[in-house]
Amino acid sequence: MDLTILILLGSGLFLGWSLGANDAANVFGTAVGTRMVRFGTAAAVCSIFVILGAVVSGAGAAHTLGKLGSIDAIGGSFMAALAAAMTVYGMTRSGLPVSTSQAIVGAIIGWNWFSNSVTDTQVLLKIVFTWLACPILAGCIAVVLFKFVEWFLNKANLHLLRLDAYTRVALIGAGAFGAYSLGANNIANVMGVFVPVSPFTDFALTEQFTLTSIQQLFLLGSIAIAVGVFTYSKRVMLTVGSELMPMSPISAWVVVVSHSIVLFLFSSQGLEHALAQAGLPTIPLVPVSSSQAVIGAVIGLGLLKGGRNVRWGVLSQIGTGWIVTPFLSAAICFVGLFFLQNVFDQQVYKPLSFELEQHVVTRISDLGVPRTAYADLVGESYESSGDLLKAMEKNAPLTRKQVHIVVEYARVHYIDITQSKLSRFDFSRLSEVQIDTLQKLEGQRYHHAWQFADALSSLSPQWQRQPATVSNRIYNKRLDDDLAYLVRTFENGR
Residues that bind another protein (CB under 8 A): 34-36, 146, 149-150, 153-154, 157-162, 164-165, 169, 248-251
Rank residues 157 and 206 by Cβ distance to another protein and give the closer one. Answer: 157
CB of 169 to another protein, least distance (A): 8
Residues 6+ apart with CB under 8 A from 35: none
CA dist., res. 23 & res. 236, Å (int): 9
Q: How far, in whole angstroms, is CA 416 from its chain's centroid?
A: 30
Rank residues 303 and 323 by Cβ distance to another protein and give the closer one. Answer: 303
CB of 52 to another protein, least distance (A): 23
CB of 161 to another protein, least distance (A): 5
Angle formed at CA 253 by CA 250 and CA 255, multiple of 5 degrees: 115
Q: How far are the Cα atoms of 143, 247, 350, 435, 475 from residue 431, in angstroms, in the given order? A: 47, 53, 32, 6, 14
CB of 162 to another protein, least distance (A): 6
Torsion of CA 221, 223, 225, 228, to 10 degrees: -140
CB of 479 to another protein, least distance (A): 43
CA dist., res. 324 & res. 286, Å (int): 20
- The residue count for the chain: 494
Rank residues 164 and 383 by Cβ distance to another protein and give the closer one. Answer: 164
Rank residues 35 and 359 by Cβ distance to another protein and give the closer one. Answer: 35
Query: 39-57 and 3-33 helices cross at what angle (nearest 10)?
Result: 130
The answer to whether 347 and 73 have CB atoms below 8 angstroms apart is yes
CA dist., res. 171 & res. 395, Å (int): 60
Rank residues 162 and 371 by Cβ distance to another protein and give the closer one. Answer: 162
CA dist., res. 162 & res. 152, Å (int): 15
Rank residues 246 and 397 by Cβ distance to another protein and give the closer one. Answer: 246
CB of 170 to another protein, least distance (A): 13
Q: How far, in whole angstroms, is CA 224 from its chain's centroid?
A: 17
- Number of helices (H), then strands (E), belonging to the chain: the values are 19, 6
Rank residues 173 and 370 by Cβ distance to another protein and give the closer one. Answer: 173
- Reduced 3-state DSSP string for 2-17: CHHHHHHHHHHHHHHH
CA dist., res. 173 & res. 491, Å (int): 46
Rank residues 150 and 454 by Cβ distance to another protein and give the closer one. Answer: 150
Alpha-carbon torsion (147, 132, 299, 91), positive or negative: positive
CB of 308 to another protein, least distance (A): 15
**Region class of 379: left (phi > 0), else alpha (psi between -120 and 50), else beta:** left
What is the 8-class DSSP label of residue 381?
Answer: E
Neighbours of 353 (CB within 10 A): 16
Rank residues 169 and 433 by Cβ distance to another protein and give the closer one. Answer: 169
CB of 29 to another protein, least distance (A): 14
CB of 322 to another protein, least distance (A): 29
Rank residues 159 and 494 by Cβ distance to another protein and give the closer one. Answer: 159
CB of 164 to another protein, least distance (A): 5
